[in-house]
Structure 1
Amino acid sequence: MKKNCSKSRLLKRRLLIAFITSLLAVIGICTAIFNVMYHQALDSVDKHSAELADKTVNTVSEAYYQMNLSAAQGTMSLFGRNIGTEIYAYDEHFRDQEELITYVAPCAQPYLRDTCHSSGIFFILTKDGIHGIDLESDESCDQLAEELFENLDQTVRKEPKFYGYYPTFRDYVYNRRQTMGGDYLKAGKGQIIAWDNLINYSEYDLCYGIIVNNTNNWLIAPVNEVVKTESDSLNRKLDSMFRKYVYIMLASIGGVLLLFTLISLILSKKLADPVVSEHDMLVKVNKMKTAFLSDASHELKTPLAAMSGYAQNAEIELMNDGDTALIQEKLKRISSESNRMALMVTQILDATRIEEGRMVLELAPCDIESLVRETVETYFAVLNKNNNRLALRIPLELPKVEADSSRLQRVFVNLISNALKHTKNGTILVKAEEDGKDFVKVTVKDTGSGISEEDMPHIWERYYKGKHSETGTGLGLFICKFIIESHGGKIWAESEPGKGTTFMFTLPLK
């Protein structure tokens, strides 16, 4: 009897040890799998965030540098005019170049202090050297100006033919000093240089300019900061989600362990019965072991299958910019804002092409009605944030116009987006009709806030947004005017503050 009892106790111990070992192994494997998946998900988020930041910077950097270079050249031109005017106004006469530098240099800091280049270096370039002035501190910084010119030597080494095979960037600028010019270097911290010559505004030959340093900090730092914030937020949500799955897994395994403990107590009581023979006890133990393993497998399989499915789906969705509720909503917002940025970047690039004379029209017969409907289907849902209604009044028999359809679509997008932005719970009307025998007249009318009399004369100017507008680039109407007039048409606006605005333009018939 004692022998049978000792054997049953031994069997119970072995069974408990085997199951606990298996259970611990399952917990360890599941924990390792979840840990690997969790870190893969975090790495994926960080990777995609970094790629998004790089793509954003690469997309806008060229237009960004061109825009800032144009602004710097405009500033130098205005400075030259003012200094030239002062020289003539006060009838100044300078005996030598040193005396001229002494007069011009102190004027730079007060004049340029409040411009966008107030943190740059104003320089005067002569055959003897470079005279630099820190616009922020008004201190002399000849050595720093020399170092910045040495950095710009990279551009000369990269394209020596373009720069006339001059040995240094300083030689290139000095030999071209009588022509207003400029360039930029995106490598490193980023630099923009613009220069002009006083001889263009007076009788004195003196090359002066400005170098804006650390330009990349204005572009890359804000983008990286936004990406880091969004990545941290998404990582916290992922951490919360995976922690929930781990807790569910542990709770399920704990329930199975509790169930096994109860079964084990019942089984051990029967195994310890002195009346049961050793053979019967072994048979019963074997049956109970088989049933237990089947039940345990079933209890473990259900929650593990569900958790594995959730985890795999989460991993797949995250790796493929997935569609979970939180991530899907965020992706929709990113998609919507990217479309808006794409429009903004397109406007900036168009303005650059216009300024450089690189915008070429590809004219072909164009159906106004089809083009407007295509534009509305593509952009209206993205741009309409103010619960507005859109009405189209375009006759099907309207003749075709001779136009570049892609550029003309840009005009419709700009005019309709402007109308939607300044109208709430109103109506946007797009109408087209024949205007005489040679033109088609298009009207875009809204019931929004209108344009003030103060802003109306300036709405076609580049970068002008209006004194009461806080959004936009100020390029949309500038681009519209250029495109319409390039087609041989004309564009104008009528507005009444508080009652709405009407934009009208004409296009020549085919």
Structure 2
Amino acid sequence: MKKEISKSHALRRRLLSVLLICLITIMIIFVSVFDIVYKRSTNIVTSHTSKIASKTVDTTAHGFYQVTLGNLQLSLESFGTNICTVLGSLQDIPDIDQELVLETHMMDFFNIDASNKGNDVIGFTYSNGEFHSIPSEPECDRIIQEAVETINIEYAKEPSAHYQGGSFQSELEQYTENCMGTYTMEGQGFVCAWDHLNNYNVLYPDICYGIIMFNQNYYKGLINQIAAEQTDSLLGEMNGLFQKSIYVMIAVIAGMLILFIVISVILSKKLSDPIVSEHDMLVKVNEMKTTFLSDASHELKTPLATMSGYAQNAEMELVSGGDTATVQEKLKRISSEANRMALMVTQILDATRIEEGRMVLELAPCDLDALVRETVETYFAVLNKNNNKLALRIPLELPQVKADSSRLQRVFVNLISNALKHTKNGTILVKAEKEDNFIKATVKDTGSGISEEDMPHIWERYYKGKHSETGTGLGLFICKFIIESHGGKIWAESEVGKGTSFMFTLPVE
């Protein structure tokens, strides 16, 4: 007998060693892969956001230049009307120098400083192929020459996109009925608008006059600074999301490790009984292993695979320069699946506590309406995968019950989870009402229902039904224990194809 027990102990140690090594290996691999994805994603975000920022700067700058040009054209039109009025009032004065009058009033109208200090605006007139700066200063002549050369370079790139095509001067010489304008972000940035006196009075000679605004690229520096700040903020959010996801993963895997340790202790106690033969002990170990692997490993593998898929998709999105909002949504899905894994682990731990008689209730006055709403806000979005709707009907005047709120919340989570799992595009109704000295709560769905064959066994541990492919089979077992421990009762009514109602009662405080 001692020899049989010794062999059993050796087999137990090998089994537990293999399980623990596998779990630790999975944990190391998963955390390592996730850390690599995290670092690569951060590097990709850094490189791509700089490109996006550059494009944003160009787009924003074009908008700024267009608005500036539009305002400048409106001002020139207003100036044209005013200067023609002035020239009309001076037409009786002999030998009046119209260009001098034009220059003087342009400086006043556009607030052009004669010393050209602290002012990024100069005026000009153009006639007979020559520019005349306003004010007439060498520095102003130089700026006009630089502007003309820069604009001509732009014209040469796309001649078909301009009115006269050839050069900036050819457009100035062409009389048009409207105020014209152009801009270029090359060099220090120029915005130029011009008009003709003939547009406002045909009696005046065709004098082309205009305004050049320069040093307009200073806005790019401001935009680049804002873009850099936004990039830093985005990277900070990305770091926070990835780090939280890693912490959640580590916590879930640590919970699985604790679960393995708990099961190893249980196996140790079962296998240490000297009366049990080696065959019986091996059968029990195999049953425990099969149950755990079928209920835990299979169920936990699905969200792990989902999280891995979303992590890979997020990486691909970042590599291809995808939308940041899409990446953030995938990270939220990863967090959601992690919460779902945590719920599964909690269910298994609760079942273990019940089996060992270690589940202790902490009774206190409990508001059922607040508890249900908190449960729904926390878990409904995580559990709802089938496009279902939720309806709550709980009266505000409903009396309180004396219950363990955390355990009671577990009951609602399990019942709502079952309803969502077996219902597609339907409605989940949660309601409560007072009946005598009890509060009766109902969770009703419009799903597939429970067959008569399965109904007698739904409260049994690990029973999932012949038509159910998911779940651990622990939810209803835990619900029944918790409700009956509170002095209430729980039951179910169902019709195949029409839905199921789970009802339970709790004593009023």
Give me the TM-score of the superposition, normalised by structure 1.
0.47
Q: Which has the larger radius of gyration?
A: 2
TM-score by length of 2: 0.47
